[in-house]
Each structure stands twice: as structure tokens, then as C-alpha cells.
Structure 1
Amino acid sequence: MKRSEAAHAVGVDVGTTVTKAVVFAPDGTALRRAARPTVLHRAGPGRYEQDAAAVTASVVAVLDELEPGPVAAVGITGQGDGLWAVDDAGHPVRAAISWLDARAADVVAEWTAGGALLQVFDRTGNLPFAGSAGPLLAWLDRNEPATLDRAATAAYCKDVVVQRLTGLRATDVSSVPFLDPGTRDYDPALLATLGLAHRRDLLPPVLAAPVEGLRTAIGGIPAGTPVVAAPYDLPAAALGAGVAKVGDGLLIVGTTLACQVLADRVGTGEPAGLTLTTWEPGRWLRALPAMVGTAGLDWVLNLTGGTPDDLPALLAGGDSTGLSVLPFFAEAGERAPFVAPAARARIDGLHTGVTAADLVVATCEAIAYSARHCLTAAGLDGELFACGGGMRSGAWAQIFADVLDRPVRVLLGEEVGARGAAQAALRTVGDAELPPPPPTAVFTPRRSYDDRYADYLLAVANARSTWRTTP
């Protein structure tokens, strides 16, 4: 149904460390923005958690700050994977486990050795990693069964936020572990294969477009305003960026490196990554979200006494000749375009003449090599859009264009995911959709990295053989 002729919409993006909200005009203009930091706790070696109640409070806070008044709808997206367990009222029964968490690595190793992981990939196009919902649910079932007994729902971040705000217990087709991509519902045989059939009742109903009204007014938004559980952050960002043609892709250079390409078939190739069911029948996003990204660069900057503000000068003054970096700095290893929980970073070619700038350039190039590795595996053959904090650096964006050997259409601003959430909300309530944002800049290749990329692939292949035996 058509709710209004020219209604505004709000998109909320609940990130890992920041919650953002944006109010959009009908022509797609971002009118106002609000943001609140959230806390990611390191609960122990390889363990990362968040206070789900505090995360929901951050959503209320940004909506209060926006004060958008009556709107057509509010769309909520957020970080994917991890496990957010709540009771009937939507209150957390334990700290939410982040997608960065590595505690379920032994579960993944067990499923790999027994062949279960390959069965998951063959049936769904998804390969679980330590921080994804399936292994974490199994870990809790083995180590904290009483916690799951107290829970009513185990879902994604944005789904539990929507439940607290509206009372709706549901998820959308993009945010479902154990999904049969053909039926667009849970696969009972898969749950049985993974030994989780007895926890089926914790999985929320799968709806094409979950929507319910606000229980109470927030920041001038009236009670009853439709709140939509949009696709989670990866597909929401693709929707917000305007990825609409099979073969087009989106590169998000954030804490991690999220690479995804729109496809008309379920993922194949080396078992890794995700095949995300979209809201459009017959279309999937082949997503390879690598663990490398700005977090690894920040670590290198901190190690060398620099800050992100120093990046332009460092990239301008550095020379990576003779240096080789494998950028697998994440404590949980790597998950795309291959799965290797024991993956570790390497820096080769160091000597006393290497400067901090040289090391930063080599690291930025290595992250771009990972992007090419992922996007090639995902089947990119169309236009490439890019966003995320890393794209604020024109020099680094140029490195990506050079390494990828294709134009990179950069969408600056932090609202691509929020735009996708607002887009999903308007689509759900029947209002006119937002137009895709125009690129802020287009970077075209200026030099070839083909030889150095080939060296990178060889170094990765050699390292993988050692990771198999290295804890």
C-alpha cells in the first residue's frame, strides 16, 4: 500500500562499535545523522562480546537525537553473524557473542574433519566460521546449555533490536543461518547434521520482510510507526549502494574487508564465505567478508607510532619495494576467500632501512590484494562500488583501483548501510524507493600490480600449508 506521497524514512545501522542513524528525504538526500559509540568487550583470548541491552539503548539514543518526527518507516540493519540470545521479552540472557569471536574454533575444526562443513556449503553456499551463528550455537549448547534453556530466541543483532522496540520475533531471508536457499526457510536436515535440531525453537520465524510498529514513541517518531528488520549490514549496504545487476559488486573497506557480488546462482568454488538470499527471488549476493581490513592497518599504524590521520602523508612518502605483507592480523584467523582459523600475518623483507611509511604502504597494498582475491572468487565482472572508512583516503582508493585493475566508484559518507535499511523499509511499506547515491569519486587504474599480486597468491598458498599444522 502507498502510505505517503513524499515521506521521509529513517535508516539505522548498528555496527560493531558505532550505531548510526540517518533520516532520508524522498529524493535520497541524507538530511540528518546521529551516531553513538558502543563497546566491544574482549572477554578473554579470542572472545569478544557486547551488552545487547546497551546496543539497543544506543539505537533509541540516535533516534532521540535525530528527532525526525513522523516518517513512513524506520529500517534497522546491523552487524551480522555472532549470536544474540534473548528471552521472550527480548531481554538478553547473556552477553551477545560478536562475529569476531573465536571460541567456537574447535567446533568448526570438528565439523570440518567430519565433513559436516562441506555439507553446509553444498546445501546453502555458506561456510560457517568460528564467529558465525551455527558454531556459536553449538558451542553454547555444549558449554552453557542452561543459558540456551533460558533463551527464547537466538538471532542476529538487528533482529533482537527490532524485537525490543516492537515485540516482533522474526528475521529476514538474508539473516538466516541454516537456510535452504531454494525454500527460503530453515533446512531441518542441516540442523540435524550439525546436531542442533533440538534447538530449532530458538530460531525466529523467517519472513520476507519483517515489520511491526513501534511500541512507544521515540524521538518524535509516533508509536505504531512501521519498523522493518532490514537485511543485515552486508546486503543492506549492497542495496543502499545501488548494486542491481548480476556481476556488479560492492567493496566495503571497514574493520573487515567485505566483498560481495550480485549473482543469479548459489555460490560455488572453494568452500568459503556466504551466499546471501536477497529479497528479490532468484538473486543472491556472493559475499566473501575477509577478516583483514582497517583493524589490521590500525594495528600497524599503532605499532609504528602513527594514527589514521597520518595515512595520507605515509602513503605519499612510503615505498613498498622489497616488502611483502600477508595481512591476516585478526585473532580469529581468516574466513574469506578461504577459511583458516590459524591464519596469521607475516611481514617479509624488513631491514633497518625500512620506514614506517614503507610498512604502511605495503600493508595497504596487501589488503587490496585480499580484496582482489575475494572479488575474483565472487565472480565480479561488472561495476564495482566501494565505501567504508578506508575509502576516505584517496591515495588508498587509488591503490585499490590499481590492484583491482578496474574503476572503483567510491560512495563516501557513512550512511550506505543506513540507506539500504531505509530503502528496505520504504519497499516494505509500499512507498517510493530512494534513488541510488551517485559516486563521490571514480578512481581508474594508473599502474599494474599483476606481478606483485601473483607473488601474493603464491605467498598465501605457501602459508596455508603451514597454518594447517600451526595452532
Structure 2
Amino acid sequence: MAERAFLGIDAGTSVVKAAIFDASGDALAVEGTSIPLIHDGGGVSGAVEQDFELILSTLGDVVRKAVAKAGVTPESVAITGQGDGCWLADEEFRAVRPALSWLDGRAASLVDQWKSDGVLHDVFRNSGGTMFPGAPAACLKWLDLNEPETLDRATTAGYAKDLIFGRLTGIRATDPSDASMPFGDGTGFGYSDDTLDKTGLSHRKNLLAPIVAPVPIGELNDAGAELLGLTAGTPVTSGPFDFPACGYGAGVAWPGTEGDALLIVGTTLGCMVHQNTLVTAGEPAGFSVSTGQPDHWLRAMPAMVGTASLDWLLKMLGVGVKEVQEALVASPPGARGVNMLPYLATSGERAPFVDPLAAGQITGLRLTTERSDLIRAVCEGLAYTARHCFDKAGRTGRIVVAGGGTGSSAWMQVFADVLEVPLELARNPEVGARGAVLAGAAARGVELDVKQWTDPEGVIEPDPRNRVLYDRGYRHQMELLHSARPLWNTRAALAALGENR
């Protein structure tokens, strides 16, 4: 009997990947290729864009390589990809302009205005989600104000996976995970007319794709089959987008896992908790993702900070990633009194609070401070941020961890100690693509053993000897944050940013 195989595609921000899994969830082959980001495109400060046609051609290459390496033809294709941003396409799903990435910061002043006007508050009350400069509504409104003729040429303002799905199948659709933020109406299955009205986008509602739950299902058309080197008619599913897809791939997004959480230590720091109610109370921050199942939500706090903050410090110090493990051994817990607020993203912060002017800060420096202390301070600062996010998101159950940062056992120990809970290491590789396959199979009625596919690869237990130290350190971190936030919005801070925000 021929071996069963399933193809998962993950069109990420910096890498397009294809993974072939067998029926037990083992990876038969994984291929990936880096793709560039276009900064300050068209001379626009803060612009971060991507070339959809390049992504699509890269996708075809990695799929063909993965299939050749696996030596087996997949029986289905499941797509996931980066969320947010604004991906404009015509009726043939061809890009009408470069996509605005979720990293795009040109709409920062617009978000500032929405915050002052109470729009962010109202949108959060509708959908359980808020907005930052790279959010779809902010990007779409910026285009509406600055490039209305571009929107007039478009048929769809969707997401990366939606355009890929459209080109592969000819179907215009999105799934509930993307649709629920920020235009969601709170049901998980519809758009909010109130949100569209308050953001001044009611006249662009026609650009939002139909929502199909739990995920859109189609078949490879001839052009899609030629691109991927597969047979026309092969089943294709789209969604959820990469963050909730990782929740499925890590085993925390399924019914019966309410309260469980996922931590993704990647370029951003993704913190997500499975809830059975939509949260619309409290300070607007993060977002709530519909799973496509009634009364099942993923309360997400995707901090803009993550390994990118650590990469920045390593570059400034002139050292490599291998120094992280050594530094965490050399510098004791507490980093000899050095603390860091790691909010280094150019577009500010979106979770567990929203501030387009959020900035980083290092305190506690002395003549005795060593390089290893700075590295540990960043690692601890990110762990404190994760704890802050999970406190806001209401975690009550286990935490599964995934992402590139899991390669450092010493850093994972820091996270376990600060969070004070065992960290279960998600089954690798390609947690997002794995989740897309599982979600797609469930939608098509194909039975796969979810427990087997998502069984963790190991557990890191917290060290109880560090509990008191990190409890005190977390309180201190929150005090530093409380003191710093008013300073981000002073006249001097705005002047330093060139009054662009």
C-alpha cells in the first residue's frame, strides 16, 4: 500500500516552507527558502512590503523539492501563513501592488488618532482585538487615504494565505481566524459593520473575502497543479493563519484544552491561551482568534518583541547566537541587577498593551556589568514579557513552547523559571504547517490522531530555587514599565522620532 502523506505550506514573513508529513505526523521532508522584506518602498518612511509573485514562485520551488525529497505524493495541501498586513489582489488573485507587511509602520499616526478618538476601545469591545500600525484595518485605511485608486483596482484585501489559496484553487475566501481580527463581529463568523463604520471603511467592505468555517476547502486548479507539480483536483485547505495554526500543531487549540497556552519564541513573542468565551473587557490589547468552532477562542498576546530583540543586542555586541547559551551560564539569575524592557520594534508594541511609541530601556548598568549580564537581561526581559502576556490572557493550564528560541536549553530554563510552570516542547518540525494539516484534515472529515501528531518532545521543569528571585524581578519589571510608558509620549520623544508618528 502506498504511504499516505500530507503537505503543509507555511508562507511566513521571512521564510516560505513546505513540509511533508506521514499519517503518524512524522516529517518526511522539509524545505524552506528565505524571502526578502522591502523597506521604505516607494520612498515611504516606515513602509515594509513584500512581493506576492516572488512568494508564490518560491512556494512552487520549495514544494517541488519537498515532494522529491519525501519520494511520495501528498494526498492533500494545507496552507497557513503570516497574519495581518494588507494583501491586495484582482479577480484573478494577482497582486495589484506589493503587500503591506504586518511589520509596516506607516499607519502609526492613524492608530494614534484612533486611540485618542476611542476607536481602538470600540473595536476591542466588538471583536476582542485591537489594532497596531500593521493591522489590516490600519493598513487598509492608510491605502484608502493615500492610494484610493489602488483599492479601486482591487477585488480582495485579504491575507497571504488567502491570495495563495485563491491562485491555487480560484476560490475567493478567508477563514474565521483571520476574519475575526480586527473586523470581526464577535461571533467568530462575521464582519462588524460598526467597526467598518468607526474606521471609515464601510465603503470598502466589498474587499473583504467571504468567511468559510472552519476553513475554506477547494481543489488544485490547473495553474496551481502546474505551480506545485501536483495533480489537479488535489484537495486544498486554507488556514488558520500561522499563529493559531501553531496552536493546533502544538495541541492547545482543540476542544478540551481550554486554559492551555502556547508560547512561540520567534522573531515575535507569541503568547496564546485557549478560552471558551470571547474577552472584550479590560485594557484593549492583543486579539481574540476564532477557531471556527462555536465558543472556542484563542486569546492571543503576540508581543512585537522576541528573538529580534536578542538578535539586535548580539549584533551590537558583535557576538553570535552561540554566545547566548554561554552567557546564561556565566551570568547568574537576575543578571547582576541589569534589567531590560525589550520593546524594540519600530512600530511600537501591541501586546499586552498597545503603544505605537513603545521603546526599549536598559537599567542597572554598572562598571562591573559584563557582556553576559546584558544578554541574560534581554532573555529575562522577554520571559517577563511572556509572563505579563499570559497574566493578561488568563492562562490556567499547561504551556507548550515552540519557535527558534527553543534551540537554547538555557533560555528555555529561564522561561520555565520566570513562568513558574513546566514547559512542554512542541513536536517538531514545522508546528504551524503541522497545525494547518490537522485543521484541514478535520475540516475535510479525514481522521488523524491529533494526540500522536502533537505529543510533546520533552518537558523543562522550573527550578524552585529561583522562584522568589523571579517573582521579585517580575514586580520590578512591571514597575519599570509603568515608569517608562509616560516618557514614550513626551514632546522630546516625539521630536526624536522626527514627528513622523
Give the TM-score taking structure 1 as reference length.
0.96
Structure 1 position 340, deviation (Å): 0.8
Q: Say whether 1:300 aligns with 2:313.
A: yes
Tell me, yes or no, if the aligned pair for 1:23 and 1:30 is still in contact at 8 Å: yes
Unaligned ranges ≥5, structure 1: none
For residues 460 and 120 of structure 1, what CA distance do their matches in structure 2 show? Answer: 25
For residues 131 and 307 of structure 1, what CA distance do their matches in structure 2 show? Answer: 30
Give deviations 1:144-196, integer Å, cap 9, x for gaps. Answer: 11111111111111111111122111100001131112261111222112110
Q: Which AA in structure 2 matches 1:465?
A: P
For residues 57 and 344 of structure 2, what CA distance do their matches in structure 1 show? Answer: 31
Residues 253-332 of structure 1 mapped to structure 2, 5 A cutoff = 253-267=265-279, 268-319=281-332, 320-332=335-347
For residues 230 and 445 of structure 2, what CA distance do their matches in structure 1 show? Answer: 19
- Which is helix-richer, 1 or 2? 2
Moved more, 352-361 or 393-402: 352-361
Structure 1 position 107, deviation (Å): 1.2
Aligned to 1:72: 75
Q: Secondary structure at the match of 1:260?
A: strand
Aligned to 2:497: none
Q: Secondary structure at the match of 1:207?
A: coil
For residues 207 and 101 of structure 1, what CA distance do their matches in structure 2 show? Answer: 27
For residues 182 and 381 of structure 1, what CA distance do their matches in structure 2 show? Answer: 24
Aligned to 1:154: 157
Structure 1 position 53, deviation (Å): 0.9
Aligned to 1:234: 243
Report % sequence identity.
43
Q: Say whether 1:466 aligns with 2:487.
A: yes
**The one of 235, 255, 261 aligned to 1:249:** 261
Tell me, yes or no, if the aligned pair for 1:70 and 1:220 is still in contact at 8 Å: no
**The one of 211, 224, 230 aligned to 2:233:** 224
Aligned to 1:113: 116
For residues 449 and 195 of structure 2, what CA distance do their matches in structure 1 show? Answer: 38
Residues 86-235 of structure 1 mapped to structure 2, 5 A cutoff = 86-176=89-179, 177-182=182-187, 184-208=189-213, 209-216=215-222, 217=225, 218-235=227-244
Tell me, yes or no, if the aligned pair for 1:9 and 1:426 is still in contact at 8 Å: no
Structure 1 position 445, deviation (Å): 1.1
For residues 425 and 54 of structure 1, what CA distance do their matches in structure 2 show? Answer: 25
Q: Secondary structure at the match of 1:180?
A: coil
Give deviations 1:320-362, integer Å, cap 9, x for gaps. Answer: 1121111011111110000011010011122333222110011
Greater relative contact order structure (CA < 8 Å, 6+ sep): 1
Structure 1 position 45, deviation (Å): 3.7
Aligned to 2:29: 32
Structure 1 position 82, deviation (Å): 0.7
For residues 235 and 458 of structure 2, what CA distance do their matches in structure 1 show? Answer: 35
Change (3 A) 1:183 1:431: closer
Q: Secondary structure at the match of 1:186?
A: coil
For residues 310 and 12 of structure 1, what CA distance do their matches in structure 2 show? Answer: 32
For residues 138 and 5 of structure 1, what CA distance do their matches in structure 2 show? Answer: 51
For residues 6 and 172 of structure 1, what CA distance do their matches in structure 2 show? Answer: 30
Aligned to 2:53: 53
Structure 1 position 20, deviation (Å): 1.2
Aligned to 2:63: 63
For residues 292 and 188 of structure 2, what CA distance do their matches in structure 1 show? Answer: 13
Give deviations 1:410-461, integer Å, cap 9, x for gaps. Answer: 1253410000111122112221124332222211111210000000001111
Q: Secondary structure at the match of 2:337?
A: coil
Give deviations 1:353-410, integer Å, cap 9, x for gaps. Answer: 3222110011000000000000111011101000000111000000000000111111
Structure 1 position 219, deviation (Å): 4.7
Aligned to 1:371: 386
Q: Which AA in structure 2 matches 1:211?
A: I
Change (3 A) 1:96 1:170: same
Aligned to 2:18: 21
Structure 1 position 70, deviation (Å): 3.7
Residues 435-446 of structure 1 mapped to structure 2, 5 A cutoff = 435=450, 436-446=453-463
Give deviations 1:278-316, integer Å, cap 9, x for gaps. Answer: 122110000000011000100000100111132211222
For residues 412 and 329 of structure 1, what CA distance do their matches in structure 2 show? Answer: 30
Q: Which AA in structure 1 matches 2:384?
A: Y
Aligned to 1:454: 475
Tell me, yes or no, if the aligned pair for 2:427 and 2:457 is still in contact at 8 Å: yes
For residues 259 and 440 of structure 1, what CA distance do their matches in structure 2 show? Answer: 20
RMSD: 1.6
Q: Which AA in structure 2 matches 1:307?
A: G
Aligned to 2:38: 41
Structure 1 position 6, deviation (Å): 7.2
Aligned to 2:499: none
For residues 340 and 166 of structure 1, what CA distance do their matches in structure 2 show? Answer: 39
Tell me, yes or no, if the aligned pair for 1:214 and 1:223 is still in contact at 8 Å: yes
For residues 47 and 188 of structure 2, what CA distance do their matches in structure 1 show? Answer: 34
Q: Which AA in structure 1 matches 2:217?
A: V
Q: Secondary structure at the match of 1:286?
A: strand
Q: Which AA in structure 1 matches 2:50?
A: Q
Change (3 A) 1:462 1:21: same
For residues 350 and 283 of structure 2, what CA distance do their matches in structure 1 show? Answer: 12
Moved more, 290-299 or 30-39: 30-39
Aligned to 2:439: 424
**The one of 355, 358, 361 aligned to 1:343:** 358
For residues 428 and 328 of structure 2, what CA distance do their matches in structure 1 show? Answer: 22
